[in-house]
Every structure is written in C-alpha cells, then in structure tokens.
Amino acid sequence: MDGPQTLAPIFARKGSYLFLAHLHPDGDVLGSMLGLGLALMGQGRRVTLAGPHPVPEPYRFLPGAQWIQQWKDASGSYDVTVLLDCPDPARTGGLLESVRERGTTVVNIDHHQDNRRFGDLNWVDLSASATGEMVYDLLQYFGWSLTPEIATTLYTALVTDTGSFRYSNASPKAFRIAAHLVAEGAAPARVAGELYEGRSREDLRLLGQLLQRIETSADGRVAWLVLPSELAGNQDLIEAEDFIAYPRSIRSVKVALLFRELQPGQVKVSLRGKGEVNVAKIAARFGGGGHPNAAGCTVALPMDAAKAALLDAVALALPPTA
C-alpha cells in the first residue's frame, strides 16, 4: 500500500487510538505523533500517547508533549495503534508486542528504507524528508485543518530530520510544506530558539571540553567523538547538542561517528555520511539501520572494541584513496 488513501477507513473509525514512540525519541517521531494525535483529538477521537523513554527536554515545548506518557509495559487495549518513524517494532522497547497480544490494528507510517512492514497497514515513503511530511500529506488528504499547534509539531519534525534544512533530504517539497506550516502558525524563530538556544553557561563550557576530544583518521576522512561515560546517559544533553554535527562539520570528513556507552559492554553508535558511503549499510551489519546518510546501531562490546569494529567497517566502506 502506498499512500494516505489506504489509511482513510482506519482513521474514519471512532474507536480508541494509541501512538507509540520509539526508543530515544527525536523531533520527527515526537512531532509526527503529536501532529497526528492532535488532529485526531480535534476529530473527537480518544487518543493515548506513550513511549518507552521520556520526552527529552528540548522537545518539551511541543504542544501536547505533556500528554506523552512513559511506559515500562503496555496494559490497556486500543482499537488502533499507530507507529510513526519507527522502522523496526523492536524499537518500541517491547510495548508494541504487548499491545498487539490484546488485539489492535497496527498502522505503520515511516520513511526509512529498512522498514520491516510490521503493520497491518503499512505506508512507507522513502522520498519523504521526515515522517512529519507524511503526516502533513495525510492531514491534507483528509482535509483536516492545521491549527498553529499542529503546524508547530510538524514543522519541528521537518526541521530536526533535515538538520534545519541543511541535509540532502531538504527537498523542494519539504520547503513548500514548511512554508505552509509557517503560514499556519509555526514560528521558526521560536522553534529554533527552543531547540538550539536552551543552553546554560555550564552546557557551553562542557561542549567546549568535548570538542577537544574529537579524533580523526590519518587521511582526515573519518572523525569521531567518544562521549565520556558520565555523560552517556544524559539524553537531554545528547538531544540538545547534536554532538555528531561537529566531527561531521570538518570539510575533509566523509563519515562521522559518535560513540556512547549506555552501560558497560553496550555502546550506542551514531553514523553520518555525506553521500560517499551508505552508513545505513554499515549500521545494518551491526544490527542497526537508518538512512544512507544518517544511521545508528547499538553493539554489545566494550567501548574500545566497539570503536575498533566500527572504524574498521567504515575504513573498508570508503573508496581507496588515489
């Protein structure tokens, strides 16, 4: 199935809706679930919003963010369960499985190429810059109005997944949708202020220290940062700072990596490319996935071994130097 029209009968139902976020929620999953969730509430539907992790501080300004519950287990029953921006059901930390046991129609709306099509209804659009763009298409198709609150959530999804409209997924369509969302009440300066200007002086000092730790390969094509273990669990800081943007910003760099130890022997790796190397393929070899230029995985190795394994894989994926 391939478009909002196939979802129309589901969203016409008067029943109860559950939206589930993925682990370590980002601006796209939060913006999308709030955008569609608020729209359904506006249509008089009963909507529950939940996820396995709390909403990181930089996203708490999003309209409706206060309604997103943090769940260890799912206990209720819902007619429809919606997953957005979630290629793999395991990324709900077990929540989808337990909701499914009690019977529900699962709707999977996503833009990742490695989406596992785990829904009863699947709409996967690889050309969408963000899942928020797909939610916009859905609302337009249904003719549901964009309130300033909904516009803000979807605009935030687009801003975060396109790196503030700087990455290769910043398509003409993404800009056209952004223009419409701004016209409907999304405020770019406010959103950027909330996302990128919430630092304390201490945060900035810390950032300065971390930037000193960036390492590069001898040929300058790979750069990486290992977050010290005392910071690795600080999800607010990690979401706010987009640390991987700094090694990525070196001109000669083709692949950037960020390593953080979630617990001893478990390392979360983020990868970013600039078109030369498909980093999703590298992440997939370590049980992760993502987009060609932005991917991630979690490996069960101590930090040094994780670093060596990933840096080896990246070196092999790079074209030989002349």
Look at the block and give the residue holding tokens 């083709």. Answer: 254
Contacting residue, 85, 239, 241, 242, with Mn ion by CB under 5 A = 85
DSSP letter string, 48-61: EEEESSPPPGGGTT
Residues of the chain by 3-state class (helix, strand, coil), percent to 5: 40, 20, 40
Question: Is 52 one of the binding residues for ligand 5GP (CB under 6 A)?
Answer: no
- The two tokens of residue 40 are 């359904």
> Which one of Mn ion, ligand 5GP, none interacts with residue 241, CB within 5 to 8 A by kind?
none
Q: How far is it, in rounded angstroms, from Cα 252 to Cα 92?
A: 36
CB nearer to ligand 5GP: pick between 151 and 174:
174
Interaction residues for ligand 5GP, span 77-96 (CB under 6 A): 87-88
The site string for ligand 5GP over 244-273 (x = CB under 6 A, - otherwise) reads: --------------------------x---
The site string for Mn ion over 14-43 (x = CB under 5 A, - otherwise) reads: --------------x---------------
Is residue 223 classed as helix, strand or coil in its secondary structure? strand
Question: Is 298 one of the binding residues for ligand 5GP (CB under 6 A)?
Answer: yes
Question: Is 149 one of the binding residues for Mn ion (CB under 5 A)?
Answer: no
Q: How far is it, in rounded angstroms, from Cα 155 to Cα 162?
A: 11
Helix H, strand E, coil C: the string for 59-109 is: HCCCCCHHHCEECCCCCCCCCEEEEECCCCHHHHCCHHHHHHHCCCEEEEE
Question: Is 191 one of the binding residues for ligand 5GP (CB under 6 A)?
Answer: no
Q: How far is it, in rounded angstroms, from Cα 13 to Cα 273?
A: 42
Tell the smallest beta-carbon distance from residue 195 to ligand 5GP (Å): 14
Contacting residue, 153, 226, 290, 293, with ligand 5GP by CB under 6 A = 290
Q: Exposure pattern of 135-162 as b/e (b: 16+ CB <10 Å)? A: bbbbbeebebebbebbbbbbbbbbbbbb
In this chain, which residue has its C-beta nearest to ligand 5GP? 296
Of 39-47, 192-200, 202-210, 285-293: span binding ligand 5GP (CB under 6 A): 285-293
The site for ligand 5GP (CB under 6 A) is made up of 87-88, 270, 288-291, 294-298
